[in-house]
Amino acid sequence: MSAMPGNNWGEIFYNLLVIYLFLSLVLTCYSVIRMYIVKHFCNGVKYGKARIKQLTAQGRFRQLPVYSLDEIYEDKDLGTVRLSVFPNDSGEKTKYVLILPGGGYAHCVTREEGYPIAAKFNEMGYTAFVLEYRTGFHCTPYAPMEDVSRAIKHIEEHQVEYNIDPEGYALCGFSAGGNLAGIYASHNHGYEEYGTRRPATIMLGYPWTNMQHWLDHPYWNIWKGIMGVWLSERGFIYMFGRSCNHEKRESLCVQKQVRDDYPPTYIFSGGRDVLVPASHHAEVMVDALEDHHIKYRYRRFFALPHGIGLGLGTSAEKWLKEAVDFWQENVAEKEN
């Protein structure tokens, strides 16, 4: 009796291929299911809702468009852009942070990566803003970057009303929102092109920085590769439509936009991120920052998946305090 799973080499190869496909599929499904379970318990959705409820009861919670009614009348997609205002409780004038949730440019996961983050910044004494930028079929080339610029201009135009200091603001983005923050912090399709101030610091949570990565690197797990290609191509299609060429793809690779004057950057990622692997995104970004001698701080948290947001109850729970300390350190250095 043969010890091999087949009677000839063709059958052996076929049986091994079936075993490989089955086991790798099981592993991928386990990783995805685990991701949803972990992030459900640690992203702080209830915490964010409670803060909104508190601010609403005080008459201080606001959600508003960043485009004029005339602009929205001309382009209905502009009506999907919304800015949520989370004022601090102290009444003191502070720096502010603009939060950009992720969602693969298909949608914004604001409940998980927007409101809870803003609530935590409030708890730390800062006024925060959450931007829901254009995504999905409402998106056009570089529309999210334009939305960020309009949000910043709106905040600065109403700085007295919001009681904020427009100098030394921070951008905080997650996943695709991290891609958006990273691109906006650069010259191309960023703050310089749109005529706004340079952010003092950017904070990137498991950022989707290396947009071409799935096409450049082979993976032993074909299901992970297929999932990655699908997510990347979906993001490109929403951003650029069918006219997505190599140059446009490269323009969204954040690490290729880093120059010597790039803002100080705080990055954190999870060691078991199946959607945006740290080794091919966060750590590629770190390499670019080192090449250009940019001040940065990077934390990789073992065994954590994608989409953890605040990371409550995990080893990443204190990442936001670290990021804020890093931000204030950079502001102090600039002011001195």
pLDDT digits (tens, 9 = 90+) for 173-184: 999 999 999 999
Q: Is residue 3 part of a domain?
A: no
pLDDT digits (tens, 9 = 90+) for 106-145: 999 999 999 999 999 999 999 999 999 999 999 999 999 9
Please report the pLDDT score of residue 6 as a whole number: 58
Q: Is residue 169 part of a domain?
A: yes
Q: Is residue 219 part of a domain?
A: yes
Q: Is residue 108 part of a domain?
A: yes
Q: Is residue 2 part of a domain?
A: no
Q: Is residue 179 part of a domain?
A: yes
Q: Report the range of poorest mean pLDDT among 2-16, 106-120, 140-154.
A: 2-16
pLDDT digits (tens, 9 = 90+) for 65-98: 999 999 999 999 999 999 999 999 998 999 999 9
Residue 47 CB neighbour total at 10 angstroms? 17
pLDDT digits (tens, 9 = 90+) for 292-322: 999 999 999 999 999 999 999 999 999 999 9
Q: Is residue 1 part of a domain?
A: no
Sign of the Cα pseudo-torsion (233, 239, 243, 248, in order): negative
pLDDT confidence of 215, banded at 50, 70, 90?
Answer: low
The answer to whether 77 touches 136, Cβ cutoff 8 Å, is: no
The answer to whether 217 touches 192, Cβ cutoff 8 Å, is: no
Radius of gyration of the chain from Cα atoms?
Answer: 21
Q: Is the pLDDT of residue 1 over 90?
A: no
State which residues form the domain around 130: 9-335
Q: Is residue 36 part of a domain?
A: yes
pTM of the model: 0.93
Q: Report the range of poorest mean pLDDT among 1-15, 108-122, 318-332.
A: 1-15
- Rounded Cα gap, residues 33 and 289, in angstroms: 33
- Rounded Cα gap, residues 146 and 179, in angstroms: 14
Please report the pLDDT score of residue 230 as a whole number: 82
SS (H, E, C) 38-70: HHHHHCCHHHHHHHHHHHHHCCCCEEECCCCHH
Please count the structural domains in the chain.
1
CATH number of the domain that 123 lies in? 3.40.50.1820
Q: Is the pLDDT of residue 216 over 60?
A: no
pLDDT confidence of 333, banded at 50, 70, 90?
Answer: confident
